[in-house]
Amino acid sequence: MQLCVDSIPSRSKEYAAPSAATIENSLWYQQRAQLEKLRLKIAENNDPLVSALSTYQSGILGILSNAITIIAKQLGDAPCEWCFLVAGSHARGDMYQFSDLEIALLLAKPEYRLHPYFQALVKQLHEHLLNIGDPWQWNHFLLNAVACI
């Protein structure tokens, strides 16, 4: 499974990374409630494992996609095109609670690998996911790419 979020090309402006506190509290509460409902749904339905995995994984993908989109909008224009990819158990379709979360950030231009925009994006996403309360083990790696795949 792949999550790809394209950014708007930069207008070559100076970038100042906002703090993680700029993520709206309402988003945190909304996604925390969404995660709790997801856990209850799985527990109440007493689904077979395959169905429970699918339900959990699609819920987590929605939370991840929404958080990335909102954080990227708050950060403003990116210095180059980029996308996130999920890997590991999430990509194979067997992610469940206590699975690690492996994501890759693909950049169109390798020279922006250490740009403050991408550092802030990864940091805020990491803090956001930790704060909504699932026991993530965070694994991320920054990659360079010629194009967003």
Task: Give the CATH number for residue 59.
Answer: 3.30.460.10
Is residue 115 in some structural domain?
Answer: yes
Is residue 1 in some structural domain?
Answer: no
| Nearest one of 56, 136, 55 to 101, comparing CA atoms | 136
Query: Where residue 135 falls among pLDDT bands split at 50, 70, 90?
Result: low
Is residue 6 in some structural domain?
Answer: no
Number of domains in the chain: 1
Alpha carbons 106 and 142: distance in angstroms, whole number: 7
Quote the distance between the C-alpha of residue 99 and its chain's center: 15
Max CA-CA distance within the chain? 53
Is residue 117 in some structural domain?
Answer: yes
Is residue 66 in some structural domain?
Answer: yes
Q: Which residues contact 112 (CB under 8 A, 6 or more apart)?
A: 79, 80, 118
| Nearest one of 121, 89, 119 to 7, comparing CA atoms | 121
Domain that holds residue 73: 24-144
Q: What is the pLDDT of residues 82-101, one digit of tens each?
A: 998 888 877 777 777 777 77
Q: What is the pLDDT of residues 2-56, one digit of tens each?
A: 344 333 333 334 444 445 555 556 777 788 888 888 777 777 776 676 677 777 7
Is residue 5 in some structural domain?
Answer: no
Is residue 9 in some structural domain?
Answer: no
